[in-house]
Copies of this chain bind each other. A is one copy, B any other.
Amino acid sequence: MLKESDLQLRFCTNETQATREKFVAKLQRLGFELSVSEVFSPAPAVVASLRQRQLRPHLLVHDDVLPEFSSVDKTNPNCVVIGDAADKFSYQNLNDAFRVLIGLEKPVLFSMGRGRYYKETDGLKLDVGVYMKALEYACDVEAEVIGKPAPMFFQSVLTDMGIQPHEALMIGDDLVNDVGGAQHAGMKGLQVRTGKYRPSDERHPTVTADGYVDNLAAAVDAILKHRA
């Protein structure tokens, strides 16, 4: 329905275990209509930053997201990029990334997200933020977070849409990363009461959603009704 309106739509994800192509294919199988150009994920945003600043990364990322970095010069690295590498976060691999970073005159660390953990069918899994903190402490640096909740990430999406923050509405299940991040970028943020949502989110000490909806369909109804 939303696709049939004149509203512009973008999908913002912190997914770093797949390319946008695979991510889109997965959502299409679930019945969503979307194209790769509508998807914003950390990897392409990092690639844009690397280009702009002429940086060559040492990558500690999931194998399935490597194709996003295929065009990037990775010789003689002068920065480190980490994503949700999961099982690739071995001692050896983290130590390799650390040695690159500590060897730089001015260490630059990009982290694709700052999540603590997420849930999979077999239980909780440590997320990239945990390894970001590890490298930050090891090298006494502060990582540049690319992805939600970084305001720059939301701004890049607004720029792509050619609109101002107050003209945009973010809908997400993650209070801090989706709603809080969007609000910091000047947008309004709705939280859906599905997925990562917890009742305690509604009394969070620092982030208050501009509204709640029981699910994504209800959000779409509300938006279209509001415009009618």
A residues neighboring B (CB under 8 Å): 85-92, 94-95, 98-99, 102, 116-117, 123-126, 129-131, 133-140
Partner of A116, one of B90, B124, B126, B137: B137
Interchain CB contact under 8 A, B98 and A117? yes
Residue ID in chain B nearest A89 by CB atoms: B91
Chain B residues within an 8 Å CB radius of A86: 91
CA distance A98 to B130 in the complex (A): 11
Is chain A's interface secondary structure helix, strand, loop, or mixed overall? helix
Interchain CB contact under 8 A, B123 and A133? no
Chain B residues within an 8 Å CB radius of A137: 116, 129-130, 133
CA distance A133 to B139 in the complex (A): 12
Partner of A138, one of B95, B123, B130: B130
Chain B residues within an 8 Å CB radius of A99: 123-124
CA distance A95 to B116 in the complex (A): 11
Partner of A134, one of B125, B130, B140: B130
Interchain CB contact under 8 A, A88 and B87? no
Chain B residues within an 8 Å CB radius of A91: 85-90, 126
Chain B residues within an 8 Å CB radius of A94: 89, 126, 130
CA distance A124 to B139 in the complex (A): 12
With A90-B90, A91-B89 already in contact, the answer to whether A138 and B116 are too (CB < 8 A) is yes
